[in-house]
Amino acid sequence: MSIAIKGAQILSMDPENRAKPFTADILIEDDRIAAIGPDLDLSGAQTVIDGTDKLVMPGLVNSHMHSNEALYKGRYDNMPLEVWMLYAYPILGAPVLSPRLVYLRTALCAMESLKSGTTCVTDDVYESPYQTPEQLDALFQAYDDVGLRATISGHVVNRPFLDTIPFSRDFVPAEVQAQADAGTPMAAEDWLAICKDALTRLHGKSGRLNFMLAPSAPQRCTVELMQAAMEMAEAHDVPFHTHILETKVQAVTGHEFYGETLIAYMHRHGLLKKRTTIAHSIWVTDADIELMGDAGCSLAHNVISNQKLGAGVAPVRRLLEAGVNVGLGSDGISTSDTTRMFPVMHAAGLIHNVQTPDTDYWLSAEDVIRAGTLGGAGTACLGDQTGSIEVGKKADMLVLDMTTLPFTPLNDIANHVVYCEDGRSITHAIVNGEIMAQDGRCLRVNEAELLAELREEMPAFLAAHEETEAMNRAFEAAFWQVHRKANGRDVGVHRMGQEPAWT
Ligand SMILES: [Zn+2]
* Adjacency order of strands within the sheet including 118-125: 60-65, 118-125, 149-154, 209-211
As a whole number of angstroms, the distance between CA 204 and CA 201 comes to 9
Domain with residue 305: its CATH number is: 3.20.20.140
pLDDT at 502: 61
Report the chain's C-alpha Rg in angstroms: 22
Whether the predicted model's global pTM rises above the 0.95 cut: yes
| Contact yes or no for 133/197 (Cβ under 8 A) | yes
Whether 464 is in a domain gets the answer: no
Task: Find the 124 Cα to ligand 1 centroid distance in Å.
Answer: 7
Average pLDDT over residues 55-61: 98
Full domain range(s) for residue 336: 60-379
Distance (Å) from CA 299 to ligand 1 centroid: 12
Q: Is the pLDDT of residue 495 over 80?
A: no
Q: Give mean pLDDT, residues 300-328.
A: 97
Q: 279 C-alpha to center of ligand 1: Å?
A: 6
Residue 466 lies in a domain: no
Q: Are residues 188 and 120 in the same domain?
A: yes
**Distance (Å) from CA 449 to ligand 1 centroid:** 29
Q: How high is the pLDDT of residue 184?
A: 83
Residue 141 and residue 211 share a domain:
yes
172 lies in the same domain as 49: no
The verdict on residue 493 lying in a domain is no
Instruction: Examine residue 462 and state whether it is found in any structural domain, yes or no.
Output: no
Distance 64 CA to ligand 1 centre (A): 6
Give the pLDDT of residue 494.
Answer: 59
Measured CA to CA, the distance from residue 304 to residue 398 in angstroms comes to 23
- Alpha carbon of 66 to ligand 1 centroid (Å): 6
CA of 63 to the centre of ligand 1 (A): 10
pLDDT for 186-224, tens place per residue?
A: 999 999 999 999 999 999 999 999 999 999 999 999 999
Check whether residue 172 and residue 257 sit in a common domain.
Answer: yes
Do 51 and 79 belong to one domain? no
Full strand arrangement of the beta sheet holding 276-280: 240-244, 276-280, 298-301, 325-328
Asked whether residue 215 falls in the same domain as residue 158, the answer is yes
What is the whole-number distance in angstroms between the Cα of residue 325 and the centre of ligand 1? 17
Question: 401 and 286 in one domain?
Answer: no
How many domains does one find in the chain? Answer: 2
302 Cα–ligand 1 center, Å: 8
Tell me the CA–centroid distance for residue 335 and ligand 1, in Å. Answer: 9
The pLDDT, as a whole number, for residue 467 is 97
CA of 215 to the centre of ligand 1 (A): 11
CB 325 within 8 A of CB 375: yes
Query: Residue 277 falls within a domain, yes or no?
Result: yes
DSSP string of 214-242, one letter each residue: -B--TTTS-HHHHHHHHHHHHHHT--EEE
What is the distance in A from the centroid of ligand 1 to the CA of 1?
A: 37
Q: Can you name the residues that pair with 172 across neighbouring β-strands?
A: none
Centroid of chain to Cα 368: 15
How many CB atoms are located within 10 Å of the residue 132 CB?
15
Q: 147: which residues sit within 8 A by CB, 6+ positions away?
A: 110, 114, 208, 431, 432, 434, 436, 437, 442, 443, 444
In a domain, 430, yes or no: yes
Distance CA 254, CA 233 (A): 24
DSSP letter, residue 367: H
Residue 184 domain-assigned? Answer: yes
Summarised one tens digit per residue, pLDDT across range 266-285 is 999 999 999 999 999 999 99
CATH number at residue 428: 2.30.40.10
Q: How many angstroms is it from 134 CA to the middle of ligand 1?
A: 22
Q: Tell me the CA–centroid distance for residue 297 and ligand 1, in Å.
A: 17
For residue 88, report the distance from its CA to the centre of ligand 1, in Å. Answer: 12
Backbone angles phi, psi at 171, to 5 degrees: -115, -30
% residues pLDDT > 90 (the chain): 94
34 and 78 inside one domain: no
Residues 396 and 375 in one domain: no
Query: pLDDT band at 490, cuts 50/70/90?
Result: confident
- Quote the ligand 1 centre to 6 CA distance (angstroms): 40
Instruction: Assess if residue 227 is contained within a domain.
Output: yes
Instruction: Tell me how far apart the alpha carbons of residues 76 and 24 are, in angstroms, rounded to a whole number.
Output: 46
pLDDT in tens, 438-474: 999 999 999 999 999 999 999 999 999 999 999 999 9
Same domain flag for 309 and 231: yes
Angle, CA of 239, 240 and 245, to the nearest 5°: 130
148 falls in which pLDDT band (50, 70, 90)?
very high
Q: Which helix (H) or strand (E) holds 459?
A: helix 447-472
Does the pLDDT of residue 107 top 90, yes or no? Answer: yes
Do 366 and 268 lie in a common domain?
A: yes
* 244 CA → ligand 1 middle, Å: 9
pLDDT, one tens digit per residue, over 371-418 is 999 999 999 999 999 999 999 999 999 999 999 999 999 999 999 999
Pair (40, 182) in one structural domain: no
Q: How far is the CA of 305 from the centre of ligand 1 (A)?
A: 9
282-312 confidence digits (pLDDT tens): 999 999 999 999 999 999 999 999 999 999 9
Residue 501's pLDDT is: 57
Tell which of 379, 402, 430 closes a domain: 379
Residue-level pLDDT at 500: 52
End-of-domain residue from the set 355, 379, 403: 379
Between the CA of 382 and the centroid of ligand 1 the distance, in Å, is 20
How much distance in Å is there from the Cα of 111 to the middle of ligand 1?
20
Ligand 1 centroid–CA 228 distance in Å is: 21
Rounded to an integer, what distance in angstroms lies between the CA atom of residue 432 and that of residue 379?
19
Listed residue (264, 261, 331) closest to 299, CA to CA: 331
User: If DSSP codes are grouped into helix, strand and coil, which group holds residue 94?
Assistant: coil
The alpha carbon of 181 and the centre of ligand 1 are apart by a number of angstroms equal to: 24
Peptide bond into 129 cis (omega under 30): yes
Give the list of residues 6+ apart from residue 72 with CB closer than 8 angstroms, or none.
87, 88, 333, 334, 465
Neighbours of 83 (CB within 10 A): 19
